[in-house]
Amino acid sequence: MLTGKHLIAGQWVGGDTTFENMPVAGETDRFAAGTVAHVDAACEAAEAAFESFGYSSRAVRAAFLREIADQIDARGGDITAMGAKETGLPEARLMGERGRTVGQLRLFADHIEAGDYLDRRFDGALPDRAPLPRPELRMVQRPIGPVAVFGASNFPLAFSTAGGDTAAALAAGCPVVVKGHSAHPGTADIVAQAIDAAVKKCGLHPGVFSQIQGGNRAVGTAVVQHPLIKAVGFTGSLAGGRALFDLCASRPEPIPFFGELGSVNPVFVLDNALANRGAEIAHGWAGSLSMGAGQFCTNPGIVVLKAGPEADKFRAAAEEAFAAVGAQPMLTDGIASAYHKGVAHMAEANGVTAVVSTQCEGRNATPFVFETTAANWLSNHELAEEVFGPLGLIVTVESDAEAGEIARSLQGQLTCTLIMDDADTAAGQALVPLLERKAGRILVNGFPTGVEVSDTMVHGGPYPASTNFGATSVGTLSIRRFLRPVCYQNLPEALLPADLV
C-alpha cells in the first residue's frame, strides 16, 4: 500500500536516510527522508513541466483536477485508515475532510472552465485619438510558474498533498512541489499515488507534481529558496511561517509567501444575546472550541462579554458543557507538548483565574478555560497569543467602550464573531468597522470552526493571521494567488494566449 518513497517527476525515489511516522496506535512505517538533491530534481522537473502545463487549456487542467478527485476517492478506505492511524482523527472527520478535498478539486475545475477568474480586459485601438493614438491593449491572468506547497499538520488531506494550495496552483497552470508534513507521511504517500495515477491517465508531463517527504530544515529551506520556485503556500505555526516568509523575502529574487498562520478568533457576545440565550451560546462555544481537540486555525479561543450576573450564568453553563468533553488525542506528541506548556503558562499568568481545569497527559488533550478582565488582557499581550488546542479565555468588559478597546487592540485574525440579537444592532454597528480591519471573515450568530469552500470565502487576514492580507487560502479566489496579470499590446491573434482569442 505504501511506497515509502518520494514522488519526483513520475518516479518513486528512495534515499540513504529514513524516518518513521508517529502513529497513535499500531506499528510505525518507514519513509525515505528528503535531501537537497531531491529538491533540485523536483524543481527542475516542475520547470520543465511548466513549458507545457502552463500553456495547457482550461479543459485539460479541469479534467486533471477531476481525475485527481476520482483517484483519491478510489483510495478512500486506505486514506481513512492511514489518516486515523497517524493523526488520531476519527474516521468520520477524515471522511468529511476527504469529501472537502475532492469537492474542492471539482469546484476549481468548474471554476476555471467558466473562465471568469482570468479577468480578461480589452481596450480597442484608437488610431485617430489626439494628441496621441492608443494601441490595442489586452490583459489576462497568467500562471506564474512552479509553486512549492508545505503540508499542514492539522489537515492531512484538505491542506496537504492534494489540498487547497495544490489544487489552486494546478488550476492556475502551475506545477507543484509538495514538502510533505512529517506528522502524516503515510497519508501523504497514498494521496501522492492518486495524483501520480491522474498525471499518467491524463498524459501530462510527469514533473507537474512531485512530493518530498521528511528531511531536516535544510530541505525546507532549499524548497523556498530554489530559484525555479515562484511562490510558496503554507499552513502552520506563526514561528515556522515567519521563518519561511523571511527566507522568501531574502532570496535574490523575492517571491510571494502565502502563509496562513492561525489566530485566536475572538467572539464578542453582545448584551441582549447574553441575557436571552447565554447558556445556549456557552454550549455552542464549548462544542466549537473542543472540536477536533481544538486543532483548527479558526478555533474560537477568546470570548468577550459584559461582566455581571449574565456573565456568571454563561460561565456556569460553560463549565457544565466542558465537563462532558473527554480526552482526545492530538495530532503529534510535539503538538500535545506545546499545548500542555500553553495551558501551564496561562494558569500562571497574572490576573487570570481558572474556570475549567482538567487533567491530561501524553498525547491527549482536555479542555481548559480561564478568565480575565479587559484591563488585564489589554495590558498583557501574551494573553492574546494562540494556544493550539482546546484552551479558551473569557474576557469580561465593563462597557461597550471597553469592548471597542479590545477590538481596536486585536492583531490580525482569520475570523471575528458577533453573537447578537436584534436589540444588539447598535452595538454591532459600532464593532463591525473595527473588526473588518482585523479579520478576513466576520460572522454573526455562528462559530468559525467551519470554512466553506466557495466563491466568496476568505480564509486569511492581516498579519499575523496570514502573511498576505489580500489573499485567501480557501475558495476559488485562492487560485488568483498563483497568477499574474500580463498586458498584450498590438499582438496579432496568432501570438496571443488561447484564453484571449
Distance CA 28, CA 181 (A): 16
| 297 annotated active-site | yes
One of 67, 86, 97, 260 is an active-site residue; which one?
A: 260
Distance CA 413, CA 292 (A): 20
- Going from the C-alpha of 12 to that of each of 16, 28, 38, 205, the distances in angstroms are 14, 20, 11, 15
Q: Provide the residue type at 299 as one letter.
A: N
| 452 annotated active-site | no
> What are the backbone dihedrals phi and psi of residue 500, each rounded to the nearest 5 degrees, phi first?
-105, -5
Q: Please tell me whether residue 456 adopts helix, strand or coil conformation.
A: coil
- Going from the C-alpha of 163 to that of each of 202, 308, 453, the distances in angstroms are 19, 45, 12
Distance CA 361, CA 371 (A): 23
- How many Cβ atoms are within 10 Å of 174's Cβ, its own excluded? 26
Distance CA 267, CA 448 (A): 9
Task: Classify residue 466 by its DSSP letter.
Answer: B
Q: Please tell me whether residue 364 adopts helix, strand or coil conformation.
A: strand
Q: Assess contact for 256 and 481: CB atoms under 8 A.
A: yes
Question: Would you give the end-to-end CA distance of the chain in angstroms?
Answer: 46
Cell digits for 272? 441582549
> Nearest to residue 83, comparing CAs of 162, 154, 156, 29?
156
Q: Assess contact for 4 and 30: CB atoms under 8 A.
A: yes
One of 43, 174, 248, 297 is an active-site residue; which one?
A: 297
Query: DSSP per residue over 276-299, as a string?
Result: HHHHHHHHHHHHHHHGGGG--TT-
Lookup result for grid cell 492581516: 462
Query: DSSP per residue over 186-254, as a string?
Result: HHHHHHHHHHHHHHHHHT--GGGEEEE----HHHHHHHHH-TT--EEEEES-HHHHHHHHHHHHTSSS-
Burial class (CB in 10 A: 0-12, 13-18, 19+), 221: middle
Which residues carry out catalysis? 260, 297
